[in-house]
Chain A
Amino acid sequence: MNASPLVELERVSRQFETPGGTVTAVNDVSLVVRPAEIVCLVGESGCGKTTTGRLLTGLARPSAGRVLFEGRDVWHTRGAEFSRFRRAVQIVHQDPYASLNPTRSVFQTLSAPLERHRLARGSDTQRRVIELLKLVDLTPPEDYLGKYPHQLSGGQRQRVSIARALTVEPRFIVADEAVSMVDVSIRISLLNVLIRLRDQLGMSCVLITHDLAVARYFGRQGRIGVMYLGRLVEVGETERLVADPAHPYTAALIAAIPEADPLLTRGKTRVPLRSAEVPSLLHLPAGCSFHPRCPRFEAGLCDIVVPELVAVPEREVACHVAVRERAGLVTAGR
């Protein structure tokens, strides 16, 4: 899996001006997404995962750092090449009730990009739209052509959103909490559609979610990236990361999440945090931003030096203590 990267974030940051001051929503994040790869970005609210998603799709511009598409800096390309990038990376939104234009039918929504980019014409357009509807399991497709969003369920709308993203034959889809507002019983089928598209079309997919369980399911053949207060604190292969988290925050999340299994969940050992307060993005703690809450906190180190995302066996992690403990494994010959 060492193909050259499709989209890469190279030390990107994104800052916003607010009445209270400058907020750094995304702070020095580096992430590589390869062709046909699945990555889940997990974190709690305010961690910057949504902004990172928008940086990946070109809907937001970084304040620092570079966004590379096939090796080229997208914000330093001209018209046609930027358009090519834009079309290669598509987004599926969270809210099924806001992501489709209520005044346009399914056919109108799906045919517009096809005709605009000359990907289909005339009678061909309807054929292509039907193909797309089949790809997202909306069958029989003919029944859906004339429907308007208010006539569809939440799950059906999300499928139309995915189909719309597919019209321009993207290499990469960013799904921003795309299953969070959909009924629990159909989340899996939506995620399976995306996984199948990866298998069939070689499409990469980044799923942004606050639900670790969903991330584990979706990313089981890919990677998970954990974000905290604007930084990427841990990245690694899903099953390994969930079984053996390196960063204390990841460990706390995994221990805290309630599970749909009474004995399992009531018997889980929590990771106690030193403080329940989440720092504001306007006043980030010095050094490692997790240090006020971290059970592995070491004074004199964690509150002074900002940990970089460092590669250790099976993982990248931004934690002084974890790096020290795990990098040692390499030298110990394991």
Chain B
Amino acid sequence: MTATLDFLRLLKSRPVGLAGLIGIVLFVVVSFVGPLLVPLDTKVDLTAIYAPPSFAHPLGTDYQGRDVFNQIIWGGRDIMIVAFLAALLSTVIAVTFGSLGAVVGGAVDSTILAITDVILTIPRLPLLVVLAALLRLNSILILALIVGALAWPSLLRAVRAQVLSLKEREFVEAARALDLGLGHIIFAEILPNMRSYIAISFILAMTQAIYAQAGLIFLGLVPLSGTNWGVMINLAWVRGAVFFRDSLPYILSPVLAIALFQLALVSLASALEDIFNPRLRGAA
């Protein structure tokens, strides 16, 4: 509890990070609690196609007269779930195998590195396209799985490098001398000293996942129905929303939503890096 309060206090002096945290909380609340309060507007009103912003429709309407603001509220949830799950998957894989390879060394390390490097050399987007063609990406879980499964290699190399340097610290050597076992050394000695690093990597992995999703959806490779910021962009594009001045809110809103959410994530990550590095903390 005190750790959380301490953390919030440190964040207070870093307005950018605080703004980021507030932004994330706002987005999450709107995207998860909003849909419980506001029913999805599916009423098709062909008389109000691409209506400009008004009191009834703060962000205008889409190509079928439906309220854009309503769709923005509903559109974040899937994106966030996929981002979270994908980041979780890639972080868990990277941390487990990166630290395992670094601590054990030898053939195990070489094997892990070889697999990592192979995947790293494959261009990600084309691979995603191929996978999209082969699998039926009709559930967000599978999407999360794919995005996450391709994101871990670069993170693994970074984690491994960190662990390699921590491995030489004296308290780790003491743990070896005390015969405390591989599991203890990795999970109780080394990883807790990388908490900040892992947290920041996780947040940045989320931003990567959002980009990956948005890209896939925009390319029309993901047959997701239901409302979703990425789907909104895709539909807006396909339906020619860029060509009408009145319909700009329809295509800009989801773009801004994604961009602002990403900005909030990155702001928090940069403040975290500052907080967790005592040397960057300044005179205090």
Binds A, one of B39-47, B150-158, B169-177: B169-177
Q: Decide: B173 and A117 in contact? CB cutoff 8 A.
A: no
With CB as the reference atom, state the residue of chain A lying closest to B188: A112
Closest chain B CB from A116 CB (angstroms): 5
Task: Mark the stretch among A19-27, A95-103, A188-196, A216-224 that contacts chain B.
Answer: A95-103
Q: Is the CB of A117 within 8 A of B179?
A: yes
Contact A87 B178 (CB under 8 A): yes
Binding site of B, secondary structure by majority: helix, strand, loop or mixed?
helix
Residues 135-189 (chain A) with a chain B CB within 8 angstroms: 161, 164-165, 167-168
Q: Which of B100-108, B189-197, B237-245 contacts A (4 or more CB under 8 A)?
A: B189-197
Are the C-beta atoms of A113 and B180 separated by less than 8 Å?
Answer: yes
Kindly identify, within residues 66 to 93 of chain A, every residue whose CB is under 8 Å from any CB belonging to chain B. Answer: 83, 86-87, 89-91, 93
- Whether A99 lies near B178 (C-beta < 8 A) is no
- Which residues of the partner chain A approach B193 to less than 8 Å between Cβ atoms? 101-103
Q: Which of B174, B175, B184 has the most CB of A within 10 A?
A: B174
Chain A 87-127 near chain B by CB (<8 Å), digits 1 or 0: 10111010100111111100000001100110000000000
Cα A91 to Cα B177 in complex, Å, equals 7
**A116 in contact with B177 given A99-B171, A100-B171 (CB within 8 Å):** no
**A116 engages B181 (CB within 8 Å):** yes
Q: Taking CB as reference atom, which chain A residue is nearest B278?
A: A150
A86 contacts B179, C-beta separation under 8 Å: yes
Contact B174 A116 (CB under 8 A): no
Beta-carbon contacts under 8 Å, A27-67 to B = 57-59
Known contacts being A104-B192, A112-B184, A116-B184, is A90 close to B178, with CB within 8 Å? yes
B179 touches A99 (CB 8 A): no
B189 CB contacts on chain A under 8 angstroms: 101, 104
The residues in B between 91 and 145 inclusive whose CB is less than 8 angstroms from any CB of A are none
Q: When A116-B180, A168-B178, A168-B179 are in contact, do A98 and B192 touch as well, CB less than 8 Å?
A: no
Of all chain B residues, the one with the shortest Cβ separation from A174 is B177
Interface size, A (range) = 20 to 34
- A112–B176 Cα distance when bound, in Å, is 12
* Minimal beta-carbon separation of A199 from chain B (angstroms): 24
How many cross-chain pairs have Cβ atoms below 8 Å apart between A and B? 61
Q: Which residue of A lies closest to B172 (CB)?
A: A101
Closest B residue to A117 by beta carbon equals B179
Residue from B171, B176, B188, B195 in contact with A59 in the complex, judged by beta carbons closer than 8 Å: B176
Q: By CB atoms of chain B within 10 A, which of A83, A89, A164 has the most?
A: A164
Q: How far is the CB of A32 from chain B (nearest CB, A)?
A: 21
Q: How far is the CA of A290 from the CA of B35 in the complex (A)?
A: 83
Tell me whether B170 and A98 are in contact (CB under 8 A). Answer: yes
Residues of B within 8 A of A161 (CB): 174
Q: Which residues of B lie under 8 Å from residue A57 when comparing CB positions?
A: 177
In the bound complex, how far is the Cα of B170 from the Cα of A318, in angstroms? 33
Q: What is the bound-complex CA distance between A90 and B169, given in angstroms?
A: 16
Name which residue of chain B comes closest to A161, CB basis.
Answer: B174
A59 touches B170 (CB 8 A): no
Bound complex: CA A165 to CA B195 (Å): 26
The answer for the CA separation of A225 and B195 in the assembled complex, in Å, is: 44
B180 near A112: Cβ-Cβ < 8 Å = yes
Q: How far is the CB of A167 from chain B (nearest CB, A)?
A: 7
Q: Which residues of B contact A99 (CB under 8 A)?
A: 170-171, 174
Shortest distance from the beta carbon of B24 to any chain A beta carbon, whole Å: 25
Give per-residue flags for A248-278: 1 if the beta carbon is below 8 A from chain B beta carbons, else 0: 0000000000000000000000000000000
- Residue of B169, B171, B177 with most chain A CB atoms under a 10 A cut-off: B177
| Interface core residue of A58, A86, A102, A112 (most chain B CB under 10 Å) | A112
Q: Which residues of A contact B175 (CB under 8 A)?
A: 112
Nearest Cβ in chain B — how far from A259, in angstroms?
Answer: 31
Chain B residues with CB under 8 A of A103 = 192-193, 195
Q: Which of B181-223 contact A (CB under 8 A)?
A: 181, 184, 188-189, 192-193, 195
**B192 nearest in chain A by CB position:** A103
State the CA gap A89–B181 with chains docked (Å).
Answer: 16
Cβ contacts under 8 Å, A90 to chain B: 177-178
| Alpha-carbon separation in the docked complex, A83 to B179 (Å) | 7
Do A101 and B192 form a contact, CB below 8 Å, given A59-B173, A93-B173, A112-B184?
A: yes
Residues in chain A near residue B177, CB distance under 8 A: 57-59, 86, 89-91, 165
The residue on B at minimum CB distance from A85 is B179
Known pairs A98-B169, A112-B188, A113-B178; list 7 more (Cβ under 8 Å).
A57-B177, A99-B170, A103-B195, A104-B189, A165-B174, A168-B178, A168-B179
Return the 7 tightest CB-CB contacts between A and B, nearest first: A103-B192, A93-B170, A101-B171, A98-B170, A99-B170, A113-B178, A86-B179
Q: List 16 A-B contacts (CB under 8 A).
A: A59-B173, A59-B176, A59-B177, A83-B179, A86-B177, A86-B179, A89-B177, A90-B178, A91-B174, A99-B170, A101-B192, A112-B178, A116-B180, A164-B178, A165-B177, A168-B178
B positions within 8 Å CB-CB of A: 169-171, 173-181, 184, 188-189, 192-193, 195
